[in-house]
Structure 1
Amino acid sequence: MRLRIQPLDYPEDAADLFAPFAAEPWAVFLDSAGQDRFDIIAARPSLTLTTWGRISQISQLGGPAVVRESRDSPFELLRSCLPRPPLEPGELPLPGCLIGYFGYDLARPLMGLPEGGSGHGFPDLAFGRYDWLILVDHQQRRAELRGHAQALSEAQWQGLLRQLQGPLARTGDGPLRALGQIQANLDETGYAQAFAAVQGYIREGDCYQINLARRFQAQVRGDAWLAYKQLRGCSPAPFGAYLNLPWGQLLSNSPEAFLRLRANRVSTSPIKGTRPRRAEAEQDRAALAELEASAKDRAENLMIVDLLRNDLGRSCAFGSIRVDRLFRPASFANVHHLVSDISGRLRPGEDALSLMANCFPGGSITGAPKRRAMQIIAQLEPARRGPYCGSLAYLGPDGSMTSNILIRSLLRQGEQAWFWAGGGLVADSLLADELAETEQKASILKRLLLGELQPG
């Protein structure tokens, strides 16, 4: 691939570089809020791949509505959109990449789950192939427009530069806001009944842990991009994202990395264990110390570490998987978490997409054992999860991958918005504590829609 590169001024805020493209269909902003090395901005994909149930569609921007329709594996179809063999691994993200999400429900056929249930109008998988991207490198404090020279005309390249330098369009709308109450699909009574059912499954030996989630819904009005700017300003997250898709917007405030792959080195960092932040510094330190000392939270985390080691073992070389760190504390705007780090070496014949297929969805948002946990979740949660608890990913033409777990994320379609909050239930979980944890995790997005967020 021949690259075309235009240096840009390093921005104080990468959102300023995305703003000229925010309203375009398929515009994507992979946003580390300065907590990871790179931010990636892209729009106008040359090709898109979407999956609805068992049918996938490959479409070309500006071309026929549907170029190809297929029942083949979405993972195989994605692979066909990347160069084979892959380019030589490089240090920096490249154009010609795929960016999008794997929705949680993509795994339903693989796990033998029913395909019915209430949906949200978003596909099970949505990816675009982007011939240009804007890369913000926080480590080197530089930014640049990077393009696939053979795929972009001179007029297209100059048009991008003009758009970056031009005035921003104004919508006239304020940030996205709820027009009435925010409703949970599992109220306290419904959650208590589901909690009791999970405890019964655990006692019977069906499972060790279930990640049970509640969905929140509101009628909304306003600009989703302005709301995301507020969200990231008050609650910066290392694996955040904003996607403006044909079906609506996806706002992610995720703190959790899923799979990373570069030059055959694989890593994953599951989160399990949560305490709310406290306003007073001394109380906040005490809450974190309590979390770090909690035998229950450590056991919950360790169950998922074991599950992910097993998942990685399906793609990694024998003997290469290591637990690099257990139970490290990580603090975010409204919660403290425990995070563990696992790594391995990809074995010959495997690639980013086989790795994702073997590990998807992430064990931290299912429970253990994974298949049975997902069956129980499908039985107890009233609605499908959609993109929530799936994974948003960058797939590079050099075989690299970076992905998150789509938690702390909101879907907006027209006048409706949905977001979720959940947690892992184990044998010694207490109903009141688990219910309170879902409320704490949901609080940032609730406050966003209610107009109550204040910059931190």
Structure 2
Amino acid sequence: MYRIDHTENPYKLYLRIASGEEYSFLLESISGPRKLREFSFIGFDPYLVLRLRGGVLSVEDRIGGGSLEVKVKDPAEPLRRLVLSNPVKAGFRFIGGAVGYFSYDAIRYWEKLPEVDEHYNDFPDMEFAIYDKGLVIDHRMGETYYYTMRKGDEEMPTFQETQETDSLSISNVRCNMKQHEFEDMVRKAKEYIAAGEVFQVVLSKRYEMNIAGDVCSFYEKLRELNPSPYMYLLKMGERQLAGASPEMLFRVDGSKVETYPIAGTRPITGDEEEDRRLAEELLHDPKEIAEHVMLVDLARNDLGRVCRYGTVRVGSFMEIHRFSHVQHLVSHVVGELRIGCDCLDALRAVFPAGTVTGAPKIRAMEVIGELERRRRGPYAGCVGYVSFNGSADFAITIRTLAVSRYSASIQVGAGIVADSTPEREWMETEHKAAALLKALKGGADK
């Protein structure tokens, strides 16, 4: 491991070392609570790529050039065998390992859910690349390190001169449903709520578009407009993900597993007195409190599936956390993994997040499948890493652009509860989409 002296932010460093790679990643932490922005990571030149579609796992050897396909019942098992079978001791949470994403519909490998009519064919159920070299940026100490585990490849990587990224152009933006169709979904969801089958359902819609240019320009604009604890830019051959998620799905460090449920939002106005007033309003809003308590209980139950009895606790409850443009109600739920359980068991226990499904989780997912009628793809899944040292950190895949060759999509949702109004929920999704489209157009020619 070598220390590197530099003055660039992680994104500029990524452009100099990895942006030209077919497979590379930047996991960047910019804003939010200090404990969520301790590290950023950069990786390039992976030696294996894994893709899972319809129960068939393809494994590509990027060094030897071979490939194979095997049938898989549990998406976690290939990662467990390839990443966790020989744990490596290290001082940082990530020192190489698997980086990628689980699509929302990977849950169908673990839970029996009704199939949906339409498939999201561009993205696999799971896609990871396994990296054994990259950069660790330690924001706590202001230090950056290069690591490599590849024999015969111990030299420092070449840093290119920073070049301007190509601009991004989007065209033919269209939504997969009209307003009346979304509002009909809301009404149907409220019928299930009134019948006592669910307390909340998160319904979503997708915007699709044609795209040309460099996704890096979108990411650069996104980190300027919406800096977040979980910023990510993943290049996976023909597919790319670029996003700014405020919300952790889960993190495992040693035997400690934790999550930070987020529910309840007010804007940041720039006026300190008004921001404090809005925070107090949020803390005393019965609807926001009820939703938040429900999701905290769901997180406790999820962690309880893999934690030692009596160790799951709420470390902090309904605190106001300020982000770049909004303030949220945030709680911290933490526990100790049972002997015999690892970070992938924790993933299975919490996936997907209750904040993107509703509760009870299984019935909410059944309702989502019935009403949305198509697979969600990366949206509402998770993106992050499983490290060779047994650590893992995943964000919920929201506020994200998913790119496959010359097409791209963004997806936004709204949590439906008993007193939701269809028009208001439609407008909430419109506002969320507008923020992402602003970043897209900010880096676009048109």
Report if TM-score (shorter chain) is over 0.5: yes
Extract structure 1 runs of 4+ deviating beyond 6 A.
none
Instruction: Determine whether 1:6 maps to 2:7.
Output: no
What does the per-residue CA deviation read over 1:284-315, in whole Å, with 9 as the maximum and x for residues that have no partner? 44433322221101111111111111111110
- In structure 2, give the amino acid aligned to 1:18: Y
Matched length: 438
Amino acid at match of 1:179: S
> SS at 1:375's partner residue?
helix
Contact 1:177 1:448 in 2 (8 A): no
- Give the residue type in structure 2 aligned to 1:8: I
- Normalising by structure 2, report the TM-score: 0.92
Amino acid at match of 1:232: R
How far residue 152 of structure 1 moved from its aligned partner, in angstroms, is 3.2
- AA of the residue aligned to 1:98: A
Instruction: Please tell me whether the aligned partners of residues 282 and 288 of structure 2 are also in contact (alpha carbons under 8 angstroms).
Output: yes
Q: Could you say which residue in structure 1 is the equivalent of 2:62?
A: 61
Check conservation: 1:335, 1:441, Cα contact below 8 A: no
Matched residue, 2:12 = 16
Q: TM-score scaled by structure 1?
A: 0.90
CA spacing shift, 1:440–1:422, aligned 2, 3 Å: same
Q: Tell me what 1:268 maps to.
A: 259
Of the structure 1 ranges 38-47 and 358-367, higher mean CA displacement relative to structure 2 is found in: 358-367
Task: Look up the equivalent residue of 1:74 and give its one-letter code.
Answer: P
Q: Kindly report which structure 2 residues correspond to 1:198-217, keeping only aligned pairs within 5 A, or say none.
A: 198-217=189-208
CA distance in 1, matches of 2:64, 2:73: 22
Query: Match for 2:169 among 164, 177, 187?
Result: 177
Q: 1:440 to 1:282 in 2, by over 3 A?
A: farther
Bigger mean CA offset, 282-291 vs 391-400: 282-291
Pair 1:430-2:416 in alignment: no
Shift of 1:65: 4.4
Match of 1:192 in 2: 183
Contact residue 334 and residue 440 of structure 1 kept, 8 A:
no
Query: Structure 2 counterpart of 1:405, which letter?
Result: I
**Which has the higher mean CA deviation after the structures are superposed, 275-284 or 408-417?**
275-284
Residues 240 and 417 from structure 1, CA distance in 2 versus in 1: closer, same or farther, beyond 3 angstroms? same
Q: Offset at 1:435?
A: 2.4
Percent identity, aligned pairs only, is 32
1:240 is matched with 231
SS for the counterpart of 1:15 is helix
Partner of 1:113: 114
SS of 1:206's partner is coil
Question: Could you tell me how far apart the structure 2 residues matched to 1:132 and 1:318 are?
Answer: 38
For residues 329 and 177 of structure 1, what CA distance do their matches in structure 2 show?
37
Per the alignment, residue 152 of structure 1 pairs with 151
Q: Judge conservation of contact 2:93–2:253 (CA < 8 Å) in 1.
A: no
Structure 1 residues 436-455: aligned runs within 5 Å: 436-451=427-442
The 5 Å alignment of 1:193-342 reads 193-278=184-269, 283-342=274-333
Q: Cα 1:73–1:210, aligned 2, differ >3 Å: closer, same or farther?
A: same
> How far does the alpha carbon of each residue in 1:163-197 deviate from its partner, in whole angstroms, 9 at most, with x for none?
22x334666x31x23224x3222332111101000
Residues 95-120 of structure 1: CA deviation (Å, up to 9, x unaligned): 34111111111112423231652315
Q: What is the CA RMSD across the aligned residues, in angstroms?
A: 2.1
* Match of residue 373, structure 1, among 364, 384, 387: 364
| Helix, strand or coil at the partner of 1:312 | helix
Partner of 1:349, secondary structure, is coil
